[in-house]
Amino acid sequence: MEGQNQNLNLNRKIQYTRMVLSDGLIELMKAKPFEKITVKELCERANVNRSTFYTHYEDIYALLRSIEEETLAWERGEMETLLGKWEEGKRATIRSLERLFECFVENRKYLQVLMSEKGSISFQKKFFFVAYQMNDFPAAQSRAAPPFEKEMRFLFVVNGGVGIVQHWLKTGMKESPRAIAEILYDIALSVF
């Protein structure tokens, strides 16, 4: 036999290596600033040869980018299944935002680190861009204003969301995901 699971265990090996490197980087990011993390120490912690690291990633920034891309793909999937299950409009939007914020609490896909001040702002913007786009915010936006101003308002809300979540994470996530979802929804609507 060949075909479907021809390289299955081979792929598993590759996936395992990437996984321990990803996990290891996130763990190190919890402990120290990203720019102080070395490839060497990451490989030692992950029990991976340094040469192996370089066969998978160009450098440590490439590893972080790959983690970010995976997380965004996961987010899109999560939103898709969620949006199929719920009524439309305000309730669905708040519920899907709430779901994302619940994942922060559960620390899925390293979200707590990626969205904190240790994470890259480019990822964080993309995260909210996806969240808004897959909800009804573009619709809410369609009523008013010239295109340039519309774009400005959308950017404003994307960046504003980042600020709120970062503060929520930094202060220990004392408020419920639901509360954050609602306040974010309210503020965003007031901008449009």
69 touches a copy of itself by CB under 8 A: no
10 binds, among a copy of itself, DNA, none (CB under 5 to 8 A by kind): DNA
49 binds, among DNA, a copy of itself, none (CB under 5 to 8 A by kind): DNA
Distances (CA, A) of 105 to 45, 61, 136, 149: 25, 26, 25, 35
Residues whose CB falls within 8 Å of the CB of residue 78, separated by 6 or more in sequence, listed in order: 99, 100, 103
Q: How far apart are CA 106 and CA 94, in angstroms?
A: 18
Q: Which tokens go with 154?
A: 């959308």
177 touches a copy of itself by CB under 8 A: no
Residue choice 33, 59, 117, 183 for contact with DNA (CB under 7 A): 59
Residue 90 identity (one-letter amino acid): K
Alpha helices in the chain (DSSP H): 8-31, 39-46, 50-56, 60-85, 90-106, 111-114, 121-133, 137-141, 147-170, 177-191
What is the CB neighbour count within 10 angstroms for residue 32?
11
9 touches DNA by CB under 7 A: yes
- Residues 149-168 vs a copy of itself: string with x where CB under 8 A? x-xxx-xxxxxxxxxx-xx-
Residue choice 23, 27, 34, 56 for contact with DNA (CB under 7 A): 56
Residue choice 12, 117, 138, 142 for contact with a copy of itself (CB under 8 A): 117
Choose the stretch contacting DNA; rule: CB under 7 A; options: 6-14, 66-74, 85-93, 166-174.
Answer: 6-14
26 touches a copy of itself by CB under 8 A: no
CA-CA-CA-CA dihedral for 8, 111, 87, 133, to nearest 10:
-90
16 touches DNA by CB under 7 A: yes
5 touches DNA by CB under 7 A: yes
Q: Is 191 exposed, middle or buried (0-12, 13-18, 19+ CB in 10 A)?
A: middle
Report the interface residues with a copy of itself, using CB under 8 A. Answer: 35, 61, 117, 121-122, 125, 148-149, 151-153, 155-164, 166-167, 175, 183, 187, 190-191
Report the interface residues with DNA, using CB under 7 A. Answer: 1-2, 5-10, 13-14, 16-17, 38-41, 47-52, 54-56, 58-60
